[in-house]
Chains A and B, each alone.
Chain A
Amino acid sequence: MMISAATTTEGGASLPLDGEVDARHGPILYMEDVSVSFDGFRALNHLSLYIDDGELRCLIGPNGAGKTTLMDVITGKTKPDSGSVFFGQTIDLLELDEPAIAQAGICRKFQKPSVFDALTVFENLELALKTDKRTWPTLFHRLNNEQRDRIQDVLETIALSGQQRQLAGALSHGQKQWLEIGMLLMQDPKVMLVDEPIAGMTHQEVERTAELLLSLQGQHSIVVVEHDMEFVRSIARKVTVLHEGSVLTEGTMDEVQNDTRVIQVYLGG
Chain B
Amino acid sequence: MKLQDLTKDKTYTTVLLALASVTLLIPLCNLIFPEDSALHFSAYSVSLIGKYLTFALLGLSLDMVWGYAGILVLGQGAFFALGGYAMGMYLMRQIGTRGVYGNAELPDFMVFLNWTELPWYWYGFENFGFAMLMVLLAPGLLAFVFGWLAFRSRVTGVYLSIITQALTYALLLAFFRNEMGFGGNNGLTDFKDILGFNIQSEAVRSVLLMMTGLSLIGALLLCRWIVNSKLGRVVTAIRDQESRVRFLGYRVELFKLWVFVFAAMLAGLAGALYVPQVGIINPSEFSPLNSLEIVIWVAVGGRGTLYGAIIGAVLVNYAKTVLTGLMPDAWLFCLGGAFILVTLLMPDGIVGLLRRRAKPKPTLNATGGQPA
Footprint of B on A, CB under 8 Å?
Answer: 2-3, 6-7, 10-11, 75, 77, 98-99, 102-103, 107-108, 110, 114-120, 123, 126-128, 130, 133-135, 138-141, 165-167, 170, 183, 187
Contact = CB atoms under 8 A, between A and B. Distances in A.
Given A123-B233, A167-B3, A116 B246 contact: no
A166 B364 contact: yes
Interface in B215-238: 226, 229-231, 233-234, 236-237
A140 B229 contact: yes
Interface string B248-274: 111110110110010000000000000
Given A107-B247, A116-B240, A187-B248, 20 more contacts: A2-B144, A6-B254, A6-B257, A77-B243, A98-B247, A99-B250, A110-B244, A119-B233, A120-B2, A120-B368, A127-B234, A127-B248, A128-B248, A134-B251, A135-B251, A138-B234, A166-B365, A166-B367, A167-B2, A183-B248
Given A6-B254, A116-B236, A138-B231, A165 B247 contact: no
Interface string B194-232: 000000000000000000000000000000001001110
Contact of B229 (A134, A139, A170): A139
Given A98-B247, A114-B241, A117-B240, A3 B258 contact: yes
Contact of A167 (B140, B252, B364, B369): B364
Nearest to A110: B244
Contact of A116 (B141, B244, B367): B244
A94 B10 CA distance: 51
A119 B245 CA distance: 13
Interface of B: 1-3, 140-141, 144, 148, 226, 229-231, 233-234, 236-237, 239-241, 243-252, 254-255, 257-258, 261, 364-365, 367-369
Contacts of B250: 99, 127, 133, 138
Given A110-B244, A118-B240, A166-B364, A126 B233 contact: yes
Given A3-B261, A114-B241, A167-B364, A10 B233 contact: no
8 contacts: A2-B140, A75-B247, A134-B254, A139-B229, A139-B230, A139-B231, A165-B367, A166-B364
B261 A187 contact: no
Contact of A98 (B2, B246, B368): B246
Contacts of A115: 244
A183 B364 CA distance: 22
A108 B254 contact: no
Nearest to A140: B229
Interface centre among B1, B2, B3, B251 (most CB of A within 10 A): B251
Considering the complex of A and B, which 7 residue pairs feature the smallest CB-CB distances, nearest first?
A: A102-B249, A139-B231, A103-B249, A170-B364, A114-B244, A98-B246, A141-B230
B230 A126 contact: yes
Contacts of B244: 110, 114-116
Between B247, B255, B368, the greatest number of chain A beta carbons within 10 A of the residue's beta carbon is seen for B247
A102 B237 CA distance: 17
Contacts of A133: 248-251
A98 B233 CA distance: 20
B230 A127 contact: yes
A6 B1 contact: no
Contacts of B258: 3, 135, 139
Contacts of B247: 75, 98-99, 102, 107-108
A257 B234 CA distance: 44
A140 B226 CA distance: 9
